[in-house]
Every structure is written in C-alpha cells, then in structure tokens.
Structure 1
Amino acid sequence: MAKRKEVTSIFAIRLAQARERTGLSQEQLGVLAGLDPSVASPRINQYERGKHEPQQKTAKQLADALGVPAAFLYTDDELLAELLLRWNGLTQRQKREIVKQAASKSMSQDDK
C-alpha cells in the first residue's frame, strides 16, 4: 500500500514562514499571541503542521505578533505574499502610492 502524502495548508506554510523570519520559537509566538504558556508551543506546532487551523481572531493575534497582515497567512499567491510581508514596513504614503499604481495599471488594462 502506497504511503499517502500529507497536504499542508497554505496557512500552515505561511505561519511557519513568518515565524521563522522573526526568529521566534513556537512557544514565544504563542505567548505573544495571547495563548496560555502551557499550550502555546503544542498549539503553534499543530497549526504549522496543518493539523488544526485557528479561528479568525486567533489568526489575527498570530499575525499581529508576527508583524504581518493576517491576509499573508492565507494567500497562496507568492507575489502577493511577498508584498504583504513588506506591507507593515511601508509608510501610509508608500501604501497609497502602491494602491494608486495598481489602480492605474488596472485601468489601463481595462482600456485594452
């Protein structure tokens, strides 16, 4: 019988990616996100293995603790993920400029 390959959720992949980027341990992340210290490490481990996915409120707390927008944890688009990783480090002016550029590109695409 062939061994079934486990498919990991995009949330699990992105959570581990963001956590490793910050250098936090699973326990540190869990505690920063407001989880009870006694369950912080195992809970984050389960999230990163894709065994469980947190409720939206907890996902937002994890994203805040990691300094990334919550949307980062759910996107399967690599370019969008890259932008979202950098988003919180941008000024409001830079964010508005990116949105403006995207809107103008979108409008010029509509003209074609």
Structure 2
Amino acid sequence: MTNPIPVRLKSARKAAGYTQQQLGMALGMEPNTASARMNQYEKGKHTPDYQTMKRIADELGVPVAYFYCDDDLLAELICALGKVDAQKKQELLDEIKALKEKS
C-alpha cells in the first residue's frame, strides 16, 4: 500500500494556496529550509510525526485524519465532514447508521 500522506499533503497545500516555503514558514520552519523540508514530506522521503501533521492539518484547515486515510473517497468525506458543525455531523452519522440498518 502506498503512503497517502505525500499526495494528500501536496493537494491540501495547493488547495489552501500555499507554496511549500510559505507552509513551512507558517509552521515555524526557517525560511531557508522550509521549502526543502516540505518537499521531502511531499516526495515521501520523510514523514512528519503526528504532532507536526496535526499542525499542518490545522494550518491547511483539514482534519488530520484526511492525511492518513488510504481510501480516497473516505478521505474526501473526512474533509467535507471537517467543515460542518457538531450537530450536523451527528445528524449525518445518524443517517448513515439508519442506512446501514436498512441494508
């Protein structure tokens, strides 16, 4: 199985309008190394630890689970659900559970 983090990281970064350097600097990296570090993450040479991944997710406005999910459709659902309030999430979960019981 391929590590989903590099592809998802690049996609989320671009969707948020960041360059590699801008994202790295927003995370507190030195300007002269920020781009290279982010590039290594996006190429899969290095994988950020969970705390770093959580900071990246927060900066990009996506749930951290999005980066770890190996199912593309489920990853998109996670992203979409991350943007709705808690009450709506509960309503959607209840609907999904009801659909599951019917099948």
Q: What's the TM-score bracket when you normalise by the shorter of the two chains? A: 0.7 to 0.9
Identity %: 41
Larger radius of gyration between Structure 1 and Structure 2: 1
Q: CA deviation at 1:8?
A: 6.0
Partner of 2:43: 49
1:108 aligns with 2:102: yes
1:96 aligns with 2:79: no
Partner of 2:75: 81
Q: Unmatched 5+ residue regions in structure 1? A: 1-6
Find the aligned partners of 1:96 and 1:33 in 2 and give their Cα distance.
Answer: 32
TM superposition outliers: structure 1 runs of 4+ over 4 Å: none
Q: TM (normalized to structure 2)?
A: 0.87
Q: TM (normalized to structure 1)?
A: 0.81
Q: CA deviation at 1:55?
A: 0.6
Find the aligned partners of 1:8 and 1:43 in 2 and give their Cα distance.
Answer: 20
Partner of 2:13: 19
Alignment RMSD (CA, Å): 1.8
**What SS class does the counterpart of residue 99 from structure 1 fall into?**
helix
Aligned length: 103
Q: Unmatched 5+ residue regions in structure 2? A: none
Which amino acid counterpart does residue 43 of structure 2 have in structure 1? Answer: R
